[in-house]
Structure 1
Amino acid sequence: MRFLRCADHGLLVELADLDEVLALYAALRAEPPPGVTDLVPAARTLLLHLAADADAGGVERAVRAAEPTAGSQGGDELLRVPVVYDGADLDEVAELTGLTRREVVDRHTAAEWTVAFGGFAPGFGYLAGGPPELTVPRRAESRTRVPAGAVGLAGEFSGVYPRESPGGWQLIGRTELPMWQVDRDPPALLRPGVRVRFEEVS
């Protein structure tokens, strides 16, 4: 665990891997140290936003004293995402994994995923916790346009594109559930800690 000051009111905690990030995030979300106003997880870091009058040294000591519990990163909220599994890369994913199309879909829907962190675009959540056999590389060449609602795989993660954008994830399906709406509270459905189950629809 390594601590780095980040601008005037931030403390960046570097950790060994995503599991450590999620476990610490869950512990600090349950009992935030005094002076911490927000927590922003990433793949191997956790950013703590501090109040202007926060004692950074005291926050660091509190974080070091926290007791993360492995497997506790999922929150109480469960989001069910209906998906039509007709993605352009479904056959390629099946070939990469040695599974059939049906087996890819079955494994994707059987897992309970958790939003590990956000990034890339507002409302885009990196979903962790899927089966290891669905770990696939990004496409060798990114697409210039991926439609909103496209469901994809990249590395150990799954995700849903919140809006049309370029992208290099392997597309396996699509959903009509809007991931990001500015007039909704909160705007993003996929927020860190939210548990996700994908459900196949026709």
Structure 2
Amino acid sequence: MPVQLLPCGSEALLAQFDSLEEALDFDAAVGAAAIHGVVETVPAARTVLVIFDPLATGPDLLAGHLRRVASRPASPRPAEANQIIEIPVVYDGPDLDGVARHLGIAPAEVVGRHTACLWRVGFAGFAPGFAYLLGDGSLEVPRRAEPRVRVPAGSVALAGEFGGIYPRDSPGGWQLIGRTDAVLWDAARPEPALIVPGRHVRFVAVAP
């Protein structure tokens, strides 16, 4: 895959790609390669920030390793059963009917597509515990023309090619189709974020 590497401060390189899939493939490949000196990777929609220890490696040496990783064929990412997180959802969101109209289907079909899909966790961002989820493309809808001043915590939402769950009350412009009681972020847990990159999410419809 073609990659452009840019310096980002004195302890990181920013890898840029043409697509989300390329960025995620590269992030997984860097993790699997266990490159000496790499401390952490931070994937995003078209980029991967590679943070390194300057006492263990340098930007030129690391760039060579990263280009070699990018030149290899992408490895498949299996969805093992123990990586699937089930999220119970009450599908009564204020934008559910509008999403259905935009897609030209019934609200029940929106729910059916949302629960039938195995969503892959792409990357985290926006707020602690918020994960950008990748579906099968059947529920792609635009953001709201006017963002809401307050979106309640636990709101299950869609925007563009992504799905997501708001981990706390915040402003937001995503389309709200349901709500969940799942706790997305808890600093007291060994792993504070419930949903992290590399795992998968399945939504389960429940009664209010």
Q: TM-score range by the shorter chain?
A: over 0.9
Per-residue CA deviations over 1:90-133 (Å, capped at 9, x if unaligned) read: 000000111111111111111111111111111110001x1322
State the match for 1:154 in structure 2.
159
The Cα shift of 1:32 comes to 2.5
What's the TM-score once normalised by structure 2's chain length? 0.92
Q: Is the 8 A contact 2:29 2:75 kept in 1?
A: no
Question: What is the TM-score with the length of structure 1 in the denominator?
Answer: 0.95
Q: Which moved more, 1:56-65 or 1:93-102?
A: 56-65
CA offset digits 1:12-60 (Å, max 9, x no partner): 0001110101111111122221110101000000000101212222221
Structure 2 counterpart SS, 1:82 = strand
Aligned to 2:13: 11
Whichever residue aligns with residue 17 of structure 1, its letter is S
Q: Which runs of 4+ in 1 moved over 4 A?
A: 73-76
Q: Does 1:30 align with 2:32?
A: yes
Q: Deviations over 1:130-180 (max 9, x none)?
A: 132210000000011111100000000000000000011000001100000
Aligned equivalents of 2:6, 2:47: Cα separation in 1? 10
Deviation at 1:61, TM superposition (A): 1.3
Pick from 180, 189, 202: which aligns with 1:184? 189
Mapping 1:1-202, distance limit 5 Å: 1-53=3-55, 54-66=57-69, 67-69=72-74, 71-72=76-77, 77-128=83-134, 130-202=135-207
Identity %: 48
Distance 1:74 1:14 in 2: 26
In 2: Cα distance, 1:73 partner to 1:6 partner: 32
2:154/2:180 contact within 8 Å kept:
yes
Which stretches in structure 1 are left out of the alignment for 5+ residues?
none
Aligned residue type for 2:195: L
Equivalent residue letter for 1:176: D
Distance 1:29 1:86 in 2: 39
Count of matched residue positions in the alignment of Structure 1 and Structure 2: 201
Alignment RMSD, CA only? 1.5
Cα distance in 2 between the residues matched to 1:70 and 1:152 = 30
Secondary structure of 2:54's aligned partner: coil
Q: Which 5+ residue runs of structure 2 have no aligned equivalent?
A: none
